C-alpha cells in the first residue's frame, strides 16, 4: 500500500456515516452485499492470485482420482475404437444411446455459462459479476466434452475429417440438408464465440495477474494479456466488443440446443418428432446448466475459499433463477406429454407405456429430481442460501436432467413403428466408463483451469464496487447504483 497524501480517498475508502445507527446499517450492508463491500484491489488481487497457487494434498488427491477416471475413459474409448461399437450395448433400434444423451447433457450444462454472462450483462444484473467466469468456464469445457461425443459415437473416427466442409478427393461434401450438419455448424459457432467472449473479458484479469506474479507465470500472463494497460480507449472498445459478442451469442446459444433437438425431432421417430422440441431442449439445457453453475460456485467457494466473492446474495439469485427454470421445464414437459397423451397415437402410447412401465423407476426418479425437490424447496430463501441444500438440489437436478436425456434418446428409440424392432437397451461397460470418465475429465479440466486463470472476473467486481454506494433515505441506508452508460 502506498502512502496516501490526498484529501479524497479512493472508492474503497469510503467513510462510514457519523450517525451510529446509520453506520451500523452501512456495515450490515457491507457484510451482505459484495458490491458495497469494496476493499483495496491490491488486497483482492493478492487474495485471488494466492488462492490460485494453493494446491494442498486434497487438491492433488482430487486430481489423482479424476485423472484415473479420465484415463479409464480414454482407455475405454481406445478399446472401443479398435473393437468397434459392437462392444457397446447399442443395437439396431437403439442406435443412439448414452453417447448422444451425453452430447445433449454436456451441451446443456455448457448452456447457462454464456447466458449468465451475456444476457445478464446486457440486462446489467450485478449478481453475475463474481460468477460470470465460473459459468463461462463450464460452457467452454462442457462444449469441449460434448464435442467428443459425436466422435466417440461414430465408428470410424479416422474418417472424421470428411465431416468438415473442406475439399477432398472423393468430391463429397457434407450434406447441408442434414440436421447433423446444422448442429455441427451451431456448436462450432458457439464454441468459437464463447471462447472469444470469455477471452475478451479475461484480458484485464490476465493483465492483473501479469502485474502481480513473477517468473514463468508473469511471461505467460503477459503474452495472454496482449499488452493491456487499461487505457480509456481500450476499456471503451472492450465494453463495445463484449456487447456486440453478447448480442450475437445469445441467439446462437438458442440455436445450439435447438439444433441438438432437431437432430432428434427431424427424424419421424415417435417421441421425437415434435415441434416443441427446440424450446423444450433450450429450457432443459438452461435448467441443468444453471444447476451446474450453482454446483461449481459451491465447490469453488469451498475449496478456494472465495467466500468474499460468492455470497448468500449470489446463491439466492441463482436459486431464484433455478426456480423459474424449474417452472418453465415443467411447463414444457407437460405440454409435450399431454399432446402425446391426448393424441392417443399407438406409437406414442407405446412409448408412454414404456416410460411408466419398464422404465418407471427412471421416469419417476426424473420427476422427483426435476419437479418435486426443486419446486418443493427453492421457494424458501433459507434453502436458497444454504450451501449444503443447494448442493444437493444441484446434484439432483443434474441426475434428473441426465435421466431425462437418456429416456428421450434411448427410451424413445426402443419403441418404434415396427413392433418386431422393439428392443430394450442396457448399457455395457464402455458406455458407463466413458460417461463417468467424461464427467471426471470435465472436473479435471476445470480444476486445472482454476489454478491458471483467475476464476473470478475481478475487474468486473471492481467495476461494480466503484459504481455502487449507499444513500440515506429517511432513517434507512440503501444501496444505490450509478448507471454510467
Partner 1 sequence: MADFLLLGLFDNVETTADVIDEVRALGVQDEQMMVMSNVPYPARFFARKPARLWFLPFVLGGAALGALVAFFLTRVTTNIYPIEVGGQGLHPVPPTAIIYFEMVSLFSMLGAFASFLLQNRFPILTRRMYDERITDGYIGLEVRAPLAVAEQVVSVFEAHHARVIKREDAAAFKPQGIRHLLFWGAVGAGGLVAVLIPLLLTYDIVRIPWINKMDDTVVVGAQEGTRLAAPAESVPVQGPVFIAGEPATAPLPATDVSLQRGQMLYGTNCAMCHGMQGDKVGAEVGKYFPEIPQSLGARAAILSDQDLFRVIRLGKNRMPGLAENLSPGETWDIVNYVRGLGE
| Residue 182 three-state SS | helix
Among 63, 119, 220, 238, binds partner 1 (CB under 8 A): 238
What CA–CA distance (Å, rounded) separates 224 from 220? 6
Does 483 engage in binding with partner 1 (CB under 8 A)?
no
For residue 314, give the C-alpha cell: 449470489
Quick one: which segment of 184-192, 279-287, 332-340, 437-445 binds partner 1 (CB under 8 A)? 184-192
Among 65, 230, 307, 358, binds partner 1 (CB under 8 A): 230
Nearest to partner 1 of 191, 444 (CB atom): 191
For the chain, the C-alpha Rg in angstroms (whole number) is 25
Nearest to partner 1 of 233, 473 (CB atom): 233
Query: For residue 404, how many other CB atoms are within 10 A of its CB?
Result: 27
Among 56, 58, 123, 229, binds partner 1 (CB under 8 A): 229
Does 236 engage in binding with partner 1 (CB under 8 A)?
yes
What CA–CA distance (Å, rounded) separates 296 from 293? 5
Among residue numbers 103 through 122, which ones bind partner 1 (CB under 8 A)?
A: none
Q: From residue 386, how far is each of 312, 352, 369, 483 by CA, in Å? A: 8, 37, 18, 32
With contact defined as beta carbons under 8 Å apart, do 31 and 307 qualify?
no
Nearest to partner 1 of 69, 252 (CB atom): 252
Least distance in angstroms from the C-beta of 13 to partner 1:
8
| Residue 480 three-state SS | strand
What CA–CA distance (Å, rounded) separates 437 from 66? 8
Least distance in angstroms from the C-beta of 226 to partner 1:
4
Does 339 engage in binding with partner 1 (CB under 8 A)?
no
Least distance in angstroms from the C-beta of 339 to partner 1:
22
Residue 221: strand pairing partners: none
Among residue numbers 380 through 419, which ones bind partner 1 (CB under 8 A)?
A: 418-419
* 481: CB partners within 8 A, 6+ apart: 35, 126, 467, 468
| Backbone dihedral region for residue 200 (phi beyond 0: left; psi -120 to 50: alpha; all else: beta) | alpha
Contact pattern for partner 1 over residues 252 through 271, marking x by CB under 8 A: x--x---x------------
Among residue numbers 429 through 458, which ones bind partner 1 (CB under 8 A)?
A: none
Quick one: which segment of 169-177, 267-275, 312-320, 429-437 binds partner 1 (CB under 8 A)? 169-177
* 301: CB partners within 8 A, 6+ apart: 307, 309, 310, 387
Quick one: which segment of 175-183, 267-275, 359-367, 398-406 binds partner 1 (CB under 8 A)? 175-183
What CA–CA distance (Å, rounded) separates 276 from 287? 16
| Count of residues of this chain found to bind partner 1 when the rule CB under 8 A is applied | 94
Closest to 69 in 3D by CA, of 437, 448, 470, 337: 437
Contact pattern for partner 1 over residues 69 through 88, marking x by CB under 8 A: -------------xxxxxxx
Does 9 engage in binding with partner 1 (CB under 8 A)?
yes
Does 466 engage in binding with partner 1 (CB under 8 A)?
yes
Quick one: which segment of 116-124, 251-259, 284-292, 442-450 binds partner 1 (CB under 8 A)? 251-259
Among residue numbers 187 through 206, which ones bind partner 1 (CB under 8 A)?
A: 188-189, 192-193, 196, 200, 204
For residue 368, give the C-alpha cell: 422427483
Does 14 engage in binding with partner 1 (CB under 8 A)?
no
Nearest to partner 1 of 130, 259 (CB atom): 259
Q: From residue 153, how far is each of 105, 106, 148, 413 by CA, in Å? A: 15, 14, 8, 16
Among residue numbers 32 through 51, which ones bind partner 1 (CB under 8 A)?
A: 40-42, 45
Amino acid at each position: 500500500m502506498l502512502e496516501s497524501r490526498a484529501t479524497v480517498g479512493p472508492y474503497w475508502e469510503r467513510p462510514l456515516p457519523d450517525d451510529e445507527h446509520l453506520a451500523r446499517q452501512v456495515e450490515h450492508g457491507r457484510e451482505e452485499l459484495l458490491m458495497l463491500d469494496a476493499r483495496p484491489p491490491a488486497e483482492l488481487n493478492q487474495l485471488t492470485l494466492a488462492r490460485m497457487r494453493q494446491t494442498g494434498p486434497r487438491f492433488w488427491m482430487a486430481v489423482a482420482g479424476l485423472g484415473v477416471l479420465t484415463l479409464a475413459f480414454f482407455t475405454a474409448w481406445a478399446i472401443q475404437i479398435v473393437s468397434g461399437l459392437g462392444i457397446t450395448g447399442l443395437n439396431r433400434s437403439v442406435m443412439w444411446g448414452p453417447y448422444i444423451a451425453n452430447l445433449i447433457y454436456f451441451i446443456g450444462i455448457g448452456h447457462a455459462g454464456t447466458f449468465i454472462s451475456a444476457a445478464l450483462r446486457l440486462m446489467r444484473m450485478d449478481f453475475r459479476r463474481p460468477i460470470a467466469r465460473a459459468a463461462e468456464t463450464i460452457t467452454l469445457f462442457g462444449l469441449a466434452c460434448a464435442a467428443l461425443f459425436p466422435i466417440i459415437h461414430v465408428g470410424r473416427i479416422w474418417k472424421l475429417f470428411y465431416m468438415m466442409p473442406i475439399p477432398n478427393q472423393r468430391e463429397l461434401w457434407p450434406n447441408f440438408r442434414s440436421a447433423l450438419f446444422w448442429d455441427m455448424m451451431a456448436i462450432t459457432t458457439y464454441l468459437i464465440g464463447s471462447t472469444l467472449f470469455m477471452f475478451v473479458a479475461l484480458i484485464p484479469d490476465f493483465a492483473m495477474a501479469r502485474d502481480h506474479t513473477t517468473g514463468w507465470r508473469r511471461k505467460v500472463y503477459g503474452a495472454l494479456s496482449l499488452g493491456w494497460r487499461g487505457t480509456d480507449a481500450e476499456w471503451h472498445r472492450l465494453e463495445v466488443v463484449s456487447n456486440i459478442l453478447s448480442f450475437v451469442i445469445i441467439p446462437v446459444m438458442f440455436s445450439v440446443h435447438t439444433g441438438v433437438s432437431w437432430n432428434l425431432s427431424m427424424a419421424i421417430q415417435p417421441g421425437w418428432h415434435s415441434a416443441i422440441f427446440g424450446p423444450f431442449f433450450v429450457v432443459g439445457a438452461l435448467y441443468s446448466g444453471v444447476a451446474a453453475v450453482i454446483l461449481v460456485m459451491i465447490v469453488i467457494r469451498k475449496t478456494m475459499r472465495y467466500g468474499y466473492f460468492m455470497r448468500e446474495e449470489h446463491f439466492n439469485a441463482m436459486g431464484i433463477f433455478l426456480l423459474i427454470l424449474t417452472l418453465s421445464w415443467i411447463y414444457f414437459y407437460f405440454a409435450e406429454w399431454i399432446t402425446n397423451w391426448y393424441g392417443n397415437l399407438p406409437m406414442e402410447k407405446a412409448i408412454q407405456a414404456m416410460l411408466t412401465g419398464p422404465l418407471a423407476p427412471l421416469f419417476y426418479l426424473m420427476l422427483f429430481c426435476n419437479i418435486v425437490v426443486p419446486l418443493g424447496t427453492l421457494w424458501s430463501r433459507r434453502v436458497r442460501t444454504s450451501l449444503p441444500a443447494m448442493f444437493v438440489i444441484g446434484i439432483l437436478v443434474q441426475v434428473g436432467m441426465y435421466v431425462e436425456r437418456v429416456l428421450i434418446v434411448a427410451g424413445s428409440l426402443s419403441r418404434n413403428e415396427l413392433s418386431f424392432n422393439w428392443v430394450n437397451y442396457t448399457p455395457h461397460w464402455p458406455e458407463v466408463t466413458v460417461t463417468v470418465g467424461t464427467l471426471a475429465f470435465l472436473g479435471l479440466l476445470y480444476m486445472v483451469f482454476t489454478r491458471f486463470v483467475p476464476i473470478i472476473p475481478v475487474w468486473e467486481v471492481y467495476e461494480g464496487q466503484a459504481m455502487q454506494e449507499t444513500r440515506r433515505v429517511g432513517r434507512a441506508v440503501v444501496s444505490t447504483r450509478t448507471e454510467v452508460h
